[in-house]
Structure 1
Amino acid sequence: MSPMQIAVHESRTDRMSGAEFRAFQARRPDHERWELLGGVAMMTTPPTIAHNQISSNLERLLNHGLAQHAPSLLATQRPGLDLGEGDYRTEPDVGVIDADYDAGQRFVARAHLLAEVVSDTDTMICPTRIAGGST
């Protein structure tokens, strides 16, 4: 989980599928960060500067090694993942993906490495409710 996440529970009792979540996410402003965890949409808060620095250092070190040993791969921060049919759509802090991507691409269906920086605040979850399923 990211440093702090806010759970969004819609008025229905079932959980979102990956496809339902992507449709929900498409209606949200670009500045909002969302992940689907076990069928529940979670809005994430910005990580701490220290968290970002660790992610940046890892990304830089990975890209340095990949440039020398696997130039067809790229380390990037917060790649959107569409891995399978489940009810998880996460954005890890750093991921190694294929370097061949489209300029407007947001999601990948394959990753070679995923890394999450663990923070002290990772256990803080603040539930909220969306009235009528809209925000």
Structure 2
Amino acid sequence: MPALLTDASRLDAHRTFWDFVASRPDEEKWELIEGRFVMQAQPSIDHQIIAGNLDRRLSEGLERIGSDRVVLQNPAIDLRPVIEGNAYVPDAAVIDRSDVEPGRSVSGTCYLAAEIISPSDRRKPSSSNRGKIAIKLAGYQALPMCDVVLLIEQRVVAVTLAIRDAGGWITRRLTDPGERLILPAAGLDCRVLDLYARTSLARARRTA
């Protein structure tokens, strides 16, 4: 779990972060990671296709089971009060419908977080000894309401699935394209390869 921040400068950074984001163009995606402002790299086309595939399947699954939760792409998740100095923008997340309000741009809930991994996600932010994705994974797992984290590789067909149970977090890595990814609480039941439909990886498999 990320350490709770007590340094005044980092707390100030959190208070000013949303004002900064509001001043930036909509196409820019910023995160607050351990008190530092971090801009997300422009996603590749494959990255965006995978995000769309996951969004569609989660949306259909939630509707099918009659859930009152919703899935969003690139939502801003505020980790306070659990962790200070951190606000993440996962590639997709399942949040509570109560967070959907006119003018609201930040969610305080996150039941499922999904990150599509690009090389920049494994780089270490300035003055940190951990990669960006490692920091974010620990942050999601620290949230009491978050029960699932998906780390979807962009350059190979592979998904790391972390699920919370009564004894803590269980992590599995799914590399068989035909293996099923089943998340009953989100109504999700699909093959790993289904997340890569219409990507360059899927096209390469068809022509190999």
* Aligned residue number for residue 63 of structure 2: 67
* Aligned residue number for residue 96 of structure 1: 94
Partner-residue secondary structure (3-state), 1:116:
strand
8 Å contact kept, 1:76–1:96 = yes
* One-letter amino acid matched to 1:120: P
Q: How far has the Cα of 1:125 moved from its partner?
A: 6.8
Q: Which has the higher helix share?
A: 2
1 CA distance for matches of 2:29 and 2:85? Answer: 17
Quick check: which has more Rg, 1 or 2? 2
8 Å contact kept, 1:35–1:42 = yes
Partner-residue secondary structure (3-state), 2:88:
coil
* Aligned residue number for residue 191 of structure 2: none
* One-letter amino acid matched to 1:32: E
Q: Across the two proteins, how many residue pairs are aligned to each other?
A: 115
* One-letter amino acid matched to 1:115: A
Q: How far has the Cα of 1:24 moved from its partner?
A: 1.9
Partner-residue secondary structure (3-state), 2:39:
strand
Q: How far has the Cα of 1:113 moved from its partner?
A: 0.7
* One-letter amino acid matched to 2:57: L
- Measured against aligned partners, the alpha-carbon deviations of 1:23-80 in whole angstroms (never above 9, x if no partner) come to 2222222222111111110112220110111111111111111001143111110111
8 Å contact kept, 2:71–2:92 = yes
Counterparts of residues 26-41 of structure 1 (less than 5 Å): 26-41=22-37
Q: TM-score, normalised by structure 1?
A: 0.74
1:107 aligns with 2:103: no
8 Å contact kept, 2:78–2:87 = yes
2 CA distance for matches of 1:113 and 1:126? Answer: 24
Q: How far has the Cα of 1:124 moved from its partner?
A: 4.8
Partner-residue secondary structure (3-state), 1:117:
strand
* One-letter amino acid matched to 1:96: V
Change beyond 3 A, Cα 1:37–1:126: closer
Moved over 3 A (4+): 14-17, 123-127
Q: CA RMSD in A?
A: 2.2
Q: TM-score, normalised by structure 2?
A: 0.50
Partner-residue secondary structure (3-state), 1:84:
coil
2 CA distance for matches of 1:24 and 1:17? Answer: 10
Q: Give the number of the structure with larger relative contact order, counting CA–CA contacts within 8 Å between residues 6 or more apart.
A: 1
Q: How far has the Cα of 1:126 moved from its partner?
A: 8.7
1:117 aligns with 2:116: yes
1 CA distance for matches of 2:40 and 2:76? Answer: 14
Q: How far has the Cα of 1:81 moved from its partner?
A: 0.8
8 Å contact kept, 1:71–1:99 = no
